[in-house]
Structure 1
Amino acid sequence: MSNDKHLHIAVIGSGGAAMAAALKAVERGARITLIERGTIGGTCVNTGCVPSKIMIRAAHIAHLRKESPFDEGVSAKAPKVDRTKLLQQQQARVEELRDNKYESILRDQTAITVLNGEARFVDAHTLTIQLNDGGEQTVHFDRTFIGTGARPAEPPIPGLAETPYLTSTTALLLETIPERLIVIGAGFVALELAQAFVRLGSKVTVLARSRLLSGEDPTIGEAIDAAFRCEGIEVLRQTQASRVDYTDNEFIMDTNAGNLRADQLLVATGRTPNTEALNLEGIGVETSRGAIQVDEHLQTTVPGIYAAGDCTDQPQFVYVAAAGGSRAAVNMTGGEATLDLSAMPGVMFTDPQVATVGLTEAEALEQGFNVDTRVLDLDNVPRALVNFETHGFIKMVAERDSGRLLGVQAVAAEAGELIQTAVMALRARMTVEDIGNELFPYLTMVEGLKLCAQTFTKDVKQLSCCAG
């Protein structure tokens, strides 16, 4: 804990990383000047996690009303989607959360001064702020934290920049559901939105440069590919656009798979760090493709300047950003904290969901582990059976000799809810035998972890329903 009650920290940004840093630093006795050039709250609450999950949930409800595993006994009917009202509901919740979790907190914090404008470093202890209302202000500080986030990237496709294409931000604000939608991208954001739009009434085509979720275990991409095709989503693998034009309210795209046409085009091929306006190079803060390089203490290459979140080289999850921000604040105020990402969960909110933690089989082998793996199909999980939703699997990666769990990959309904149990098991360095011997509540999806662990030593098909 710092004894200097007058330590002044400049925080650039107001999203998950920046707010966590500001609040933790105040808790530890610092005075904060927070600079935000746009809307308070950053990506997650305004244009990312919150609105996208609302839209995905609405699409899921629409899908169940149209089609479910129980249609023989429960009548189904395609719903009428009123996009205007859905959008109003979505944005009202966004505004509510932004006020409750960001704006009202900042209003109540006397130790935090908010400046609305764009920050630029003069040197390692000075910023100039181009205020949104006009004029310029200079801020001198003892330490600074950069949490400026990222924005959707624009791939270098000829003609694309001259078209009114959608990003993950603008797609969430569309006032109408397009009849035909092309999605360029095959990562978490692209696939979540592709499925949401098809369930709300669009005909969707996904263009994958290689395959779906190329950064994950190949079985995950294959499972989601199959699920998408079942819903009528056209998946074009090994496909790239060579040109995009927009004529007569229609997108026309030249690809190696032929000529494609759509009413809307969504480009979701990654994100670009918001760092170019900060003059980082001028003060010696090293970046790689715009991403700020930080050490295990969240410090940049310049002492006293810290960063976390999507503007850095860390994984782009808001909970990683917030954890990084709070730890950076500890370090800026005299403490010593590190961010351990060895058991970092990732979740994709498609249906079925994808959830992962730890090492994949390939990563474990690359790191020199002698591995043993098991894949449990969901038709061996009682919860999936009674739901009549057995598409998917749970995979466990373990160290062969010790049985210690190294990683889990799951494709299942509510996989995001079960993965935290795997996170805790990894943190505790549990073995698959330990997990297989634990008590898990019957008829839950998380019980699939126990069953998968048991397959290392047993044939679970020969067990009674809730055999321990």
Structure 2
Amino acid sequence: MTTLKTDILVIGAGSGGLSVAAGAAQMGADVTLLEGHKMGGDCLNYGCVPSKALIASGKTAYTMAHAAPYGIATVTPEVDYAAAKDHVADVIATIEPVDSQERFEGLGVRVIREFGEFVSDTEVQAGETRITARRIVIATGSSPLVPPIPGLADVPYLTNESLWQLRDRPEHLLIIGGGPIGMEMAQAHRRLGSEVTVIEGARALGKDDPECAAVVLDALREEGVEIIEEAQATAVSEADDKITVETAKGSFTGSHLLVAVGRRSNTDRLNLEAAGIATTRSGIKVDDSLKTTNRRVYAIGDVAGGLQFTHVAGYHAGIVIRSAVLGLPAKAKIAHIPWATYTQPELAQVGLTEAQAREKHGDSIEIVRFHYSHNDRAIAERKTRGLIKLMVRKGRPVGVSIAGHQAGELINLWSLVIANGLKLSQVSSMVSPYPTIGEVNKRAAGAYFSPRLFENDTVKTVVRLVQRWLP
């Protein structure tokens, strides 16, 4: 058995773990990184990267079939599903070197391709190597949650991990789960020629603002995606190479089944009890500084049980580097954390939804809306479906919901605004190039001030007086 000592031990080479390892090593710390599966984690291999690549294939096919409004002859695209998956694989391969073992070893990180298991509060066993570390960062991510639906274990089903090995286009894809993953894959496969039925036990896109979510759901239904809500799956069966999902709203039969009901934190292999690390129902218990109940150990990203997004893992990595590497105080916050669903139109959120804002702040909340139909660039590109909603308290936004073209890009500004406690007056003073979709943000801020300026009798009286006295 080999023993070694290290300053920072990172368990998991996904987005968060790689960020900690790279930052700590380049700052001079002795860093050891463990990964028993694929470098790059879920995001590169099964999540963000492949899903956005397949979405791009679907978007191209849809554009070809809907070109007439732009003066271009519409054609029926010939979809090669296997070739679309080759495109996905090529995108992954292009990004892979950035997350590779060779790159990180070049940065000075000691990489061990084994899973890690705690044997004490400061020691981790990885294969034949026992590692003692000053600080340990758990970044093991999450895996698809497979619900205990009767019969599910007896039928072939896909998750976001196994979907990418599928080479033949599904004739009729059933999707259990109407969250972001389910809705993104529903639209992509519909555009690539599959029949698609989404079965959701509650409300589709239920974590987002209902008004904005409805914009997206209406668009998907118009494209032919069948979305069944309030339909909890009660049983799954297979007969004659077809899969049937039973619900209170009827039975739904298709050729393939994708299970996309959520994620579960990867903690099973870690033997957390040996290190005195407590867990919750959603993951490892952490405080605001991302420390576990073992003060030498941090947990970041999906395994910490909070918002499960790649950019959150990256944000957590920065907190840990400040604390564990530089020894400075640092706390993680969530108010400025955005998320986006990459359907078309897109759906994005940062801060509080309207319902959350009203519950927290009551009548002090003002709701401001601005619709894409008033944006000239959106009109030019025929992308006028959607709106932006600002939840405003005392002149500052506490939440922003966007449904529409490039919502995932537009939400960036509002994360900056909320993170720094900026006022809407500061947003309205911004100058956007014309014509851009980004003007939606500025116009939304302006919509907050419009009634105060143009529907205010005091303002009108002052202006008349000024006009009389001006030379």
TM exceeds 0.5? yes
**Is residue 2:107 matched to residue 1:113?**
no
Q: How does 1:4-15 map to 2 (within 5 A)?
A: 8-15=7-14
- Equivalent position of 1:349 in the other structure: 342
Shift of 1:199: 0.5
- Equivalent position of 2:196 in the other structure: 204
- Equivalent position of 1:3 in the other structure: none
**Is residue 2:331 matched to residue 1:338?**
yes
- Aligned-pair identity in percent equals 32
Q: Relative to structure 1, is the Cα distance of residues 138 and 7 closer, same or farther in structure 2, using a 3 angstrom cutoff?
A: closer
CA distance in 1, matches of 2:336, 2:39: 30
Shift of 1:143: 1.6
Shift of 1:459: 7.2
Q: Relative to structure 1, is the Cα distance of residues 457 and 143 closer, same or farther in structure 2, using a 3 angstrom cutoff?
A: closer
- What is the identity, as a one-letter code, of the residue corresponding to 1:179? E
Unpaired segments ≥5 residues, structure 1: 1-5, 131-135, 463-468
Residue 309 of structure 2 is aligned with which of 317, 322, 347? 317
Q: Contact 2:6 / 2:32 at 8 angstroms: preserved in 1?
A: no
> What whole-Å deviation, never above 9, does each CA across 1:177-202 have from its counterpart, x for those lacking one?
11101111111111111110000001
CA distance in 2, matches of 1:231, 1:240: 24
- Equivalent position of 1:375 in the other structure: 369
Q: Contact 1:11 / 1:145 at 8 angstroms: preserved in 2?
A: yes
- The DSSP-based 3-state class of the residue aligned with 1:118 is coil
- What is the identity, as a one-letter code, of the residue corresponding to 1:117? E
- Equivalent position of 1:40 in the other structure: 39
Q: Contact 1:179 / 1:202 at 8 angstroms: preserved in 2?
A: yes
> What whole-Å deviation, never above 9, does each CA across 1:39-79 have from its counterpart, x for those lacking one?
111111111111111110111011000114616x2111111
> Which deviates more from structure 2 when the two are superposed, residues 420-429 or residues 8-17?
420-429
**Is residue 2:268 matched to residue 1:276?**
yes
Residue 84 of structure 1 is aligned with which of 53, 63, 82? 82
Residue 385 of structure 1 is aligned with which of 379, 384, 387? 379
- What is the identity, as a one-letter code, of the residue corresponding to 2:21? A
- What is the identity, as a one-letter code, of the residue corresponding to 1:113? R
Structure-1-length-normalised TM-score? 0.91
Shift of 1:159: 0.6
> What whole-Å deviation, never above 9, does each CA across 1:271-329 have from its counterpart, x for those lacking one?
01110111113322111125011112111110101110111122111111012123213
Shift of 1:80: 0.7
Q: How does 1:396-407 map to 2 (within 5 A)?
A: 396-399=390-393, 402-407=394-399
Shift of 1:109: 2.7
Greater radius of gyration (CA): 2
Structure-2-length-normalised TM-score? 0.91
Residue 119 of structure 2 is aligned with which of 114, 119, 122? 122
Q: Contact 1:69 / 1:388 at 8 angstroms: preserved in 2?
A: no
Q: Contact 1:35 / 1:117 at 8 angstroms: preserved in 2?
A: yes
Shift of 1:28: 3.1
> Which deviates more from structure 2 when the two are superposed, residues 253-262 or residues 96-105?
96-105
Q: Contact 2:22 / 2:104 at 8 angstroms: preserved in 1?
A: no
- What is the identity, as a one-letter code, of the residue corresponding to 1:433? S
Q: Which structure carries more helix by proportion?
A: 2
- What is the identity, as a one-letter code, of the residue corresponding to 1:67? H
- Equivalent position of 1:361 in the other structure: 354
- Equivalent position of 1:294 in the other structure: 286
> What whole-Å deviation, never above 9, does each CA across 1:197-227 have from its counterpart, x for those lacking one?
0000011111121211111211122112211
> Which deviates more from structure 2 when the two are superposed, residues 246-255 or residues 229-238?
246-255
CA distance in 2, matches of 1:125, 1:406: 41
Q: Contact 2:68 / 2:74 at 8 angstroms: preserved in 1?
A: no
Q: Contact 1:308 / 1:314 at 8 angstroms: preserved in 2?
A: no
- Equivalent position of 2:91 in the other structure: 93
Q: Relative to structure 1, is the Cα distance of residues 375 and 290 closer, same or farther in structure 2, using a 3 angstrom cutoff?
A: closer
